[in-house]
Amino acid sequence: MAKIKIEDLKKIKERVQAENALRHGDRRVRVTVHMGTCGIAAGAREVMTTLMKEIEEAQVSDVVVTTSGCMGLCSREPEITVEIVGEEPIVYEYVNENKMRQIFRRHILEGEIQTPFVLARGKEQP
Amino acid sequence: MEELSLHILDIIENSTRAGAGLIEITIVEATDHDTLMIEISDNGSGMDEETLGRIMDPFYTTRTVRRVGLGIPLLAQAARATEGSCTVESRVGDGTRVTAEFRLNHIDRQPLGNMGETMATTIAGNPEVDFVYTHRIDDESYRLDTRELRLVLDDVPLNSAPVITFIRNDIAEALAEMKNRSRTGTEH
């Protein structure tokens, strides 16, 4: 039986705990990756993987990631919603790995909305 | 969908939306029997008989934002294309079990694809849900239980980025090792 590498996981835990001790701060951004059948078929999983790698590389802990279902605009998938606390949510369309990196670095980290990729502003209807 | 691991991600997302607290994913590859079995079971809200009866209908969905429900029909089609089958069992209040069987070496079988990414994505997006992922290839097996990971992690969230990377890599490495060992095993 292949075993989970518990020792490695313990090291990760210690590293994350040490990093978090240096920071204060609550959640600043919530990113929702739309993970319906349509989103998954269009590449939402790869978008999510890119997002998690960016978060790890930037060493930020105030960005929360979640998934949601389809909101009915299947032809424009993959879609993500970026909600910065106190600001209007922004829905991006046709996201791919490169766009995800750009949205993360420019919008999520620096607050600059990436207008060419925007589908809509405002709260999505579940 | 181009790989089975994407179908699996889709079915798991259904389970999370049915309010499941525990989702078990089991994959069994049996070279001798030429079968690949995928089972996803959850303890979510389950479905009544009417809903269950229409589950294979691509034009049926419980959602209101669109008129098609393709997740299960696409999985069933992928299974049938390999002379396999797909069944869904469900009881209101108990949960749901989706089982799909494929002929392992059928020319039309989609590749399993990246299970590490599928599990990492679903755990990252649903940190309040527990997952048990079991994968067997002949005599080799791998098991990941998020309840065990939580015990090790203490106050570190399961969905923190370094933990998600760990999960993604651990699955990828374990599956590659298992594949290697089972291949050398059959040569002797």
- The pLDDT score that the predictor gives to residue B166 is 95
Mention every residue, 6+ apart, whose C-beta is less than 8 A from residue A36: A68, A69, A70, A74, A77, B10, B13
Does the CB of A27 have a partner CB in chain B at under 8 Å?
Answer: no
For position A26, what pLDDT does the model report?
A: 74
B95 contacts B46 by C-beta, under 8 angstroms? yes
CB contact under 8 A, A4 and B170: yes
Averages of pLDDT over each 10 residues, chain B, 188 residues: 94 93 97 96 92 83 77 92 94 94 96 96 95 95 95 92 94 92 63
Identify the pLDDT of residue B182.
80
pLDDT of chain A, 126 residues: tens digit per residue: 666 788 889 999 998 888 877 666 678 999 999 999 999 999 999 999 999 999 999 988 899 999 998 888 989 999 999 999 999 999 999 999 999 999 999 999 999 999 999 999 987 654
Apex B118 CA angle, B117 and B124, nearest 5: 85
The rounded distance, in Å, linking the Cα atoms of B138 and B65 is 43
Cβ(B56)–Cβ(B85) below 8 Å: no
Which domains does chain A show, CATH number per domain? 25-121 (3.40.30.10)
A40 and B34 Cβ atoms separated by less than 8 Å = no
Distance (Å, rounded) from C-alpha A98 to C-alpha A95? 8
How do residues A18-31 score in pLDDT, each as one tens digit? 887 766 667 899 99
Sign of CA dihedral A18, A102, B126, B27: negative
- In this prediction, residue A24 carries a pLDDT of 61
The pLDDT value given to residue A15: 87
A125 touches chain B (CB under 8 A): yes
**Residue B187: what pLDDT?**
47
In the prediction, which pLDDT does B50 show?
A: 87
CB of A67 less than 8 A from some CB of B: yes
Q: Which residue has the tokens 């527990």?
A: B130
pLDDT at A124: 61
pLDDT digits (tens, 9 = 90+) for B12-61: 999 999 999 999 999 999 999 999 999 999 999 998 888 888 888 888 78
Contacts of B152 in chain A (CB under 8 A): 6, 9-10, 13
Q: Report the residue of A10, A45, A65, A81 to disrupt the B interface, i.e. the one with the largest count of B CBs within 10 Å.
A: A45
State both tokens at A115.
């207008």
Q: Is some CB atom of chain B closer than 8 A to the CB atom of A23?
A: no
Q: Which has the closest alpha carbon to A27: A60, A67, A68?
A: A60
> Domains, chain B, ranges and CATH?
4-187 (3.30.565.10)
